[in-house]
Chains A and B, each alone.
Chain A
Amino acid sequence: MQAFLKTGKLSGGQGSSSTTKEKSCSSGVSKKKPSLTPWVEKYRPQTVNDVVEQNDVVQVMRQCLNGADLPNLLFYGPPGTGKTSTILAAARQLFGDIYKDRILELNASDERGIQVIREKVKSFAQFSASSIRPDGRPCPPFKIVILDEADSMTPAAQAALRRTMERESRTTRFCLVCNYVSRIIPPITSRCSKFRFKPLGSELIRERLQLICSEEKVSCGEDAMKCLVETSGGDLRRAITCLQSCSRLKGPGIEIHADDVQEVAGVVPVQWVNGMLEVCHHNNYEMLTEFVDRLMQEGYCVAQLVEQLHEVIVFDNNMTDQQKSLICDKLGVCSFRMQDGGNEYIGLLDLGCTIIRTMKT
C-alpha cells in the first residue's frame, strides 16, 4: 500500500479542496488524451438547460439564476436521472469562479457523523456571502451545502442537520440528494422543497444516445438501440455506460448488435427465463434442482431473472388470475430476500417449488 502510494503524489486535503482537484485533474487529463474521459462524464449536462426531462426543477433553477431566492432543496429519484448533475451545473452557473468558496459538497464517501455536520457545516456557513462576484457580476448572497447520497446518513446525523439548517438559514441553502425519500426523516423533508426526478422517457434516452453515437462515431443498429433503451429502464447513465462498454469491447468501427447489449446489460436470455417455467411444468424436484444448478453456474443474476419472470407471468395467457397472484407473491418475497443478501440457490428453489405447486391446482 505504501509503495503503491509512493509512485503517485497525494493531492491536498479533502472536503472543499477536492472540488478544485476534481476540475484540475479531469481537465488535465482530457487535454492530453481527450478520449479518456468516460462518456457519462463527457456528456454530463454543463448547464441547467442541458438537463432533460426534469422540467419542474429546471424551472426553479432557472428562476434562481435570474435572481430569485432559492429554497432548501430535496432531490430524489432513481439512479442516473440527473440529480447530481443538476445541482452541480446550477452551482457552477451561479457562482462561476468562486464556486469553491460557496459550495460545500459532502457525499457518502465523506465522513458525515453528527460531529462533522455540526462543525464542518458551521465553519463553512459562518461568514456571510456577498452578492457580487470578484468579476463584478451579481450572484446570490448565500452559500450552498450539497449533501449528496443523503439516504446513507444516519437518522442521528439528519437530526443534527435539522438545527443547523435553521440556524444558518440566513447565509446558507441546503440541497439534499437521495434515491429513496423515505430514508430522510420527516422534519428534514418538511423544511425542503421536494423534487422528484422521473426515470427518463425512452424517446429522450434514444435521442441522447443517438447524439453520442454520432459524436463518437459509433455504429449502433436499430435493434441494439431499442435494446439499450429498454434495458436502461429510464437510467440514462446506465444506457450510456452500456453503449460505451459495447463499443469498447467490440473495437472501433464495428457495429453493435442487440445480443452484445443484452450481455453487457446483464439481461438473462429468454431461453433461461422460459426454461424456468417449463421445468416447473414437469413437477419434478430433481429436474428443478438440476436447472437451478446450471443457472447458478452460468452466473446469471437471479434478482434480474426474478424481475424478468414477473414480466412473463403477468402477461401469460394460460394461467388463472389466482395462480398469477400466488406466484407473484412469492416473486416479491424472493426478490426482497435476495436484496437482504439471502442465498440465491435456495431462494430460486423455493420459487420453483411454489410455481410447481401452483400450476398443479
Chain B
Amino acid sequence: MSLWVDKYRPNSLTKLDYHKAQALHLKNMVQQGDFPHLLVYGPSGAGKKTRIFCLLRELYGPGVERLRLEHMNIQTPSNKKIDITTVSSNYHLEVNPSDAGFHDRVVIQELIKTVAQTHQLDPSGQREFKVVVICEADCLTKDAQHALRRTMEKYVATCRIILVANTISRVIPAIRSRCLGVRVGAPNKEEIINILQSVCRKEGLSLPNELAERIAVQSNGNLRRAILFLETCKVQQYPFQPDQKVASHDWEIYLKDTAKMIVLEQSPQKLLQIRSRLYELMIHGIPSEIIFKGLLQELVKNCDMQLKTQIVEKAAFFEHRIHLGSKPIIHLEAFVASFMAIYKKFMEATVADLF
C-alpha cells in the first residue's frame, strides 16, 4: 500500500494539474528530440520532481519507471571512502551528491563524468543521450559546481544534466549560463483544493470544501504536505468533519513552544534549556534554516515595528553565519541570546515608562 502522494502522482506531462502551459512547452521541446541542460527550481513540494519524471517518461517511455536503488563506493584522493546511493533506470540516473557532504566534488568528478562519457549503445534506443538528475543542486559546494562546468559542455552530445534546486541564488553564474531555467512555482490555494478533491474522488471519499480549504491554507503551497495532511485526517476521522483538526507535524508544535518559552523568560538558565530543545530538533533532522525561520516567525509576534526590524536584522546576520561555519547550533544559540538581550531591555524600558 503506497501513500496517496505516490499513488496519485501524475506520470505524463499532459496529466499535470497546474502550470499547464509550461507542461505543454516542455512537451513541445521533447518532441523536437532535443533539449539543453535544465535547471529546475522552485519551493519544496511544488512538484519539481514529478514534472521531471513526466518529462523523462515522455522522453524514454515507460522504461524509466523500472527503477533500481544502488549503492556506490567512491574513493576520495585522500583515500577516504564515501558511500553514495543512486536511483537509476536504463535511461537515467538520479543522485544527490550533497549526501557526501563536502566531498561532493569527488562524486561529480568520478560518478557524473563516468556516466557522461558513457555512450548510449543500443542503436534502437529512442535517444542519443542519457539524463543525469542531480538533486539539491543548490547545496553543492562551489568546488563541485565548478567541476560540472566543462563536463556539461564536453559531453553534451551523450548526456544531459537536470539540476533540481529550491533556489538558484546559490548556483554559480557559470552554471546558470549553461542551463535552461525552468521555474516551478507552488500551486495556489484553488489548485491545491482541486487536487485534494480529485484524490478523494478517486478514493471514493467525500471531502467537505471547508476542510479542503483549511488543509490548503495550512500546507502553505506545499502540495506534498497538503496530501499527507489529507491522508492523516482520513486516518484520524472519517467521515470527514468540516471543522476537523488538521494536525501539523510534531516538530512544528515543539518549535513553536520553544519560541514561546524564549518570550516568557530571558535568563542564562532558560538559554540552557532552549539549547537542549534546539539540539533535539536538529537530531530529528530539521534543517537549521527551518528552525531559524520558525523561531523568527514566533518571536516577533509581540514586538513593535522597531523591535521587529532589529530582530530580523539579527536573524539574517546569524543565519548567514551558519553557512560560513560548521556548527549551526552555535549561531542558533547566539541568535536566541541576542533576542533575549534585546527583548529584556525593551521590556524593562516599557515597565520603567509605566511608573
Interface stretch of the complex, out of A162-170, A249-257, A317-325: A249-257
B316 A149 Cβ-Cβ under 8 A: no
A302 B181 Cβ-Cβ under 8 A: no
B residues in contact with A10, CB < 8 Å: 114, 117-118
Q: Does A244 have its Cβ within 8 Å of any Cβ on chain B?
A: yes
Q: Does B156 have its Cβ within 8 Å of any Cβ on chain A?
A: yes
Binding site of A, secondary structure by majority: helix, strand, loop or mixed? Answer: helix
Q: Does A214 have its Cβ within 8 Å of any Cβ on chain B?
A: no
A residues in contact with B185, CB < 8 Å: 297-299
Q: Does A33 have its Cβ within 8 Å of any Cβ on chain B?
A: yes
Q: Interface code B144-173, partner A: CB below 8 Å = 1, 0 otherwise?
A: 001111110111111000000001111001
- Tell me the bound Cα distance from A289 to B297 in angstroms: 9
A residues in contact with B305, CB < 8 Å: 283, 285, 356
Most B CB contacts (10 A, CB to CB) among A7, A235, A285, A341 go to A341
Q: How many A-B contacts are there with CB distance less than 8 Å?
A: 240
B residues in contact with A340, CB < 8 Å: 320, 323-324
Most A CB contacts (10 A, CB to CB) among B117, B147, B155 go to B117
Interface stretch of the complex, out of B225-233, B255-263, B275-283, B307-315: B307-315
Interface stretch of the complex, out of B29-37, B235-243, B339-347: B29-37
Q: Interface code B39-81, partner A: CB below 8 Å = 1, 0 otherwise?
A: 0011100100000000000000000000010101000010000
A265 and B181 contact, Cβ closer than 8 Å, known pairs A36-B33, A149-B146, A346-B293: yes
Q: Does A182 have its Cβ within 8 Å of any Cβ on chain B?
A: no
Interface stretch of the complex, out of B10-18, B83-91, B197-205, B244-252: B83-91
A344 B169 Cβ-Cβ under 8 A: yes
B71, closest chain A residue (CB)? A1
Q: Does B183 have its Cβ within 8 Å of any Cβ on chain A?
A: yes
List the 7 closest A-B pairs by CB distance, nearest first: A299-B42, A303-B169, A152-B146, A350-B316, A107-B150, A341-B323, A8-B118
24 contacts between A and B (CB under 8 A): A1-B86, A3-B90, A4-B88, A5-B115, A9-B121, A11-B119, A21-B117, A25-B119, A40-B178, A79-B177, A107-B150, A149-B149, A149-B150, A152-B142, A248-B32, A251-B28, A266-B183, A283-B305, A340-B324, A343-B292, A343-B293, A343-B319, A346-B293, A357-B306
